[in-house]
Amino acid sequence: MNVTVTGAAGQIGYALLFRIASGQMLGTDTPVRLRLLEIPQGVKAAEGTAMELDDCAFPLLAGIDIFDDPTAAFEGTNVALLVGARPRGPGMERGDLLEANGGIFKPQGQAINAGAADDVRVLVVGNPANTNALIAASNAPDVPKDRFTAMTRLDHNRALTQVAKKAGVPVSEVRKVTIWGNHSATQYPDIFQADVAGTPGARLAEDREWLEGTFIPTVAKRGAAIIDARGASSAASAANAAIDHVRDWVHGTPEGDWTSAGVVSDGSYGVPTGLISSFPVVSRGGSWEIVQGLELSELSRGRVDASVAELQEERQAVEQLGLV
């Protein structure tokens, strides 16, 4: 399998590549060839990471190539992890941020369209992830839209642990938590349908002070709390979530549970068609399916709508910029 990783010399790239090469993402029977994409200034550092990958002598690692040209980097790719993105600089408005990222994700979408393998699967990690995924998908007209996804798995995993801690149960006993909407501070972690070691999540949600005052803000603002504590943004946990996302996409989600991913909306739950929004999803036969038939509480409905409204604003902004 050819795996392209953009932003390969960054901190998530450093936490991600060794796990891919060791077989944790695609399985221990699948050899991988890594294709690393960096900007020219990042190539030397990527070469250093490639030297370390060589020094691990991973039996599954069939080769490493380094590029500063997206067209070459996505040639024949089966799995594309779009991690490199333009961070928000001082004084940068949202429109500037979307425009700067459009300059990255538009050509990458075009390059995927031109040369990726027919079965390509794309995960966008770089922020603003949902709208960057929308830009890439819109610029790859020959690739089915459902092959473009945005990462909300880190938010999902954060929510699982917060629920487990509140209930005093192992995290493995928390199921059916959902992240809805945008990977931003408006995201909505929903526990109303959850199964918490046999107890309905709705019962935990009866403690509204905890739900609205602690749980939701803790999950939604976790990224900022990590930066505050670590002096750098989440990297190993983000890489771990990317591994989880692709592994489940390729190999399927466990029976009796679901996960969360930013996928193209088919209009489910009133989310406008074509937006890349986070939903409860299962993976069957190598494709994501949105879990149907969940009843949203009044609180959930309002929060989902607010996050989706933000996604619509972002879509309008990138439409006006001619990026989609």
The residue ranges that bind ligand NAI (CB under 6 A) are: 6-7, 9-13, 37-39, 42, 83-85, 87, 104, 125-127, 129, 151, 154, 183, 233-235, 238
Q: Say how many C-beta atoms besides its own lie within 10 A of residue 218's C-beta.
A: 18
Catalytic residue among 156, 183, 245, 251: 183
Nearer to ligand NAI, 109 or 126 (CB): 126
Nearer to ligand NAI, 153 or 196 (CB): 153
283 DSSP β-pair partners: 288
Lookup result for tokens 């937006």:
275
Q: In the complex, which residue's CB is closest to ligand NAI?
A: 10
DSSP string, 252-273: -PPTT--EEEEEE--SGGGPPT
Residue 94 DSSP SS3? helix
Q: Which two tokens stand for residue 112?
A: 């995927």
Nearer to ligand NAI, 183 or 204 (CB): 183
For the bound state, the minimum distance from the C-beta of residue 235 to ligand NAI, rounded and expressed in Å, comes to 5
Nearer to ligand NAI, 59 or 87 (CB): 87
For the bound state, the minimum distance from the C-beta of residue 223 to ligand NAI, rounded and expressed in Å, comes to 6
What length does the chain have? 324
Sheet containing strand 199-200, edge to edge, reads 174-175, 195-196, 199-200
Q: Which amino acids are annotated as binding site for substrate, given as ranges? A: 88, 94, 127, 158
For the question of residue 183 being annotated catalytic, the response is yes
For the bound state, the minimum distance from the C-beta of residue 67 to ligand NAI, rounded and expressed in Å, comes to 9
For the bound state, the minimum distance from the C-beta of residue 185 to ligand NAI, rounded and expressed in Å, comes to 12
**Nearest Cα to Cα of residue 301 among 270, 259, 268, 257:** 270
Instruction: List, by residue number, the catalytic residues.
Output: 183
